[in-house]
Amino acid sequence: MISRIKKVFHLFFTKTDLFFKMALFDLLFVISVFFANTLFLLLLPQNPASLLQIVSSFKFVIIFAVFIGIIYLSFIVFIYSFFKYLNIDLLENLNRQNSFSFRYFWKFYILNLFIFGIILSLFAFLNILLFFIVNATFASVFSIITFFPFAFFSISFIVLSHVLFLKEKSYKKIIQKSISQIFKLNNISLYFVAIVFFLFFVLFYYATAFFFGIIHLENATPLFVNIFAGMTFFVFYFIFTFCRTYSFIEG
């Protein structure tokens, strides 16, 4: 594991152009989602009640909303798959030089539809479970407690599925192996390293806040808040980039 961590940091310094391209593709993905969201909002009726007046059927409105939701999510997953496919090709170049091809793009897109379908279904199930089991007073606390582990393991599931996409042909095998590998010692060690990175940042944040005499966040200046908001984003992105690079490179 230590040798792979060293290898990741070595690649950060020796393959700077490649990581810059990955960051650029991630940025383009965010921009594309923003414009796609704006486009969908423009196409939707500005007043949902007017749609009910036109068709005079609440059932039709529900069916229409579900249909539009599926179309919207499928389009967002398509955008995600496009830029992620480009990044996977770059990550593969860390192991060996290969010629780029869109040959397996549609397979990758369908895989992502399965992945996000599973994640969204589990997320909905957890929310329904919390709604019926947890007292309303503690619902927000339990939501936060369950959200972070769920998000953490969901990201791991996605990354591992993309790694296995390069090796397996069957969607079923990819998903099964991804779920089984989430809790393997090698990946648990990676989670530990990621948490250590984040804890160092938290310690740095509070040490800096204490140095400037900021005990509570509401007492911080807008400049301080903006700087640390940017740093938090950078740290999370660095941890994410580190983890996906670690998962893709061959030890």
State the Cα–Cα distance between residues 184 and 192, nearest whole angstrom: 12
pLDDT in tens for each of the 251 residues of the chain?
Answer: 677 778 888 888 888 888 899 999 999 999 999 999 888 888 776 665 555 555 556 666 677 777 888 888 999 999 999 999 999 988 888 877 777 788 889 999 999 999 999 999 888 888 777 777 766 556 666 666 677 778 778 888 888 899 888 888 788 889 888 888 877 766 666 677 777 777 777 787 777 766 666 655 556 667 777 777 788 788 888 888 888 888 887 65
Residues 6 or more apart from 63 whose CB is under 8 A from it?
Answer: none
What one-character-per-residue DSSP string does 133-179 give?
HS-TTTHHHHHHHHHHHHHHHHHHHHHHHHHHHTT---HHHHHHHHH
| Placement of tokens 């808040």 in the chain | 225
What global pTM score does this model have? 0.80
pLDDT of residue 74: 93
Farthest CA pair distance, the chain: 65
pLDDT of residue 106: 93
pLDDT of residue 214: 61
Cα 93 to its chain centre, rounded Å, is 22
Q: Identify the three-state secondary structure at position 46.
A: coil
Q: 161-174, pLDDT tens digit by residue?
A: 998 888 887 888 89
Q: 106-123, pLDDT tens digit by residue?
A: 999 999 999 999 999 888
pLDDT of residue 26: 93
State the Cα–Cα distance between residues 207 and 216, nearest whole angstrom: 13
